[in-house]
Amino acid sequence: VKLIQKPIFFLATMPLFLPEKEVLSWYPGFTGFYKKHRLAIEETYYDLCEALSYPLLESPETMLIEPLEKIIGGQVKLELDRFYIHYPKQGNREISLIAEGLRKIAMLTYLIANDSLKTGTILFWDEPETNLNPRIMKQIADLLLKFVKNGVQIILTTHYLFLMKELSLQVNNSKGNIPAKFFSLAQGKDDVVKVESGEILPDLQTIVALDEELAFFDREQTAF
């Protein structure tokens, strides 16, 4: 690795990377095991577990946490190195018994509650739609834009057309109050990656998810 230029300044907060899979179900003992053994697991998973290990704030940001707790139906608890969802009428339920999509939401909730996700954080989220019920995707889009308004920079990748459209619609309706940029990457000639960018989704000429949806619609019309 060659360092071309020394950074002029360093980030005040550590960036967060959320992978496709959640880590709450295999959190117990993972960080210690990772330090001791040579594992073929990306270090980003270790970094995420480290971020989850921080103690909770005395007064966390309820405006961001409450919508997430409403989705999962309870509060996220960490007791004896294990994560649980505490339901008001049912008590604690082990995180491994919760749907994987809801575990991802629980993970996000706890990162806000312990101040790992806050103003100034850069959040990288890989395909947030994975394992999530489509019914809650608008709520996720709403939440992402709340993060942006609270000073969180978000970089996400997605193949889910609905999420792209919802984010684009809300950005457009904000009349410039929500800074955003949409990118499309496509394979070009000689294996060169073609990159397009725009302020909103319709600015892009190549949207593979849209192309495939329209192609399916044509096949469906032909079949019926």
Residue 1 lies in a domain: no
Residue 69 pLDDT greater than 70, yes or no: yes
Residue 195 lies in a domain: no
pLDDT of residue 103: 96
Domain count, the chain: 1
Residue 102 lies in a domain: yes
Residue found under tokens 């960490």? 78
Residue 198 lies in a domain: no
Instruction: Give the CATH number for residue 99.
Output: 3.40.50
Confidence category of residue 14, pLDDT binned at 50, 70, 90: confident
Query: Per-residue pLDDT tens for 168-215?
Result: 999 999 988 999 999 999 887 888 888 999 999 999 998 889 999 999
Six-digit token pair at 93? 């339920």
Residue 129 lies in a domain: yes
Q: How far apart are CA 104 and CA 109, in angstroms?
A: 9
pTM reported for the whole predicted model? 0.88
Q: Coil, strand or helix: which one is 111? A: helix
Where helices occur in the chain by DSSP H, the ranges are: 30-36, 43-52, 62-72, 100-113, 137-149, 161-173, 208-223
Q: Determine the structural domain holding residue 68 and report its residue range.
A: 16-180
Average pLDDT, the chain: 92
Confidence category of residue 40, pLDDT binned at 50, 70, 90: confident
pLDDT of residue 1: 64
Cβ neighbour number for residue 26 with a 10 Å cutoff: 14
Residue 60 lies in a domain: yes
pLDDT of residue 12: 64
Residue 173 lies in a domain: yes
Confidence category of residue 147, pLDDT binned at 50, 70, 90: very high
Residue 108 pLDDT greater than 90, yes or no: yes
Residue 8 lies in a domain: no
Residue 39 pLDDT greater than 90, yes or no: no
pLDDT of residue 11: 64
Residue 8 pLDDT greater than 90, yes or no: no
Task: Identify the H or E element spanning 122.
Answer: strand 122-126
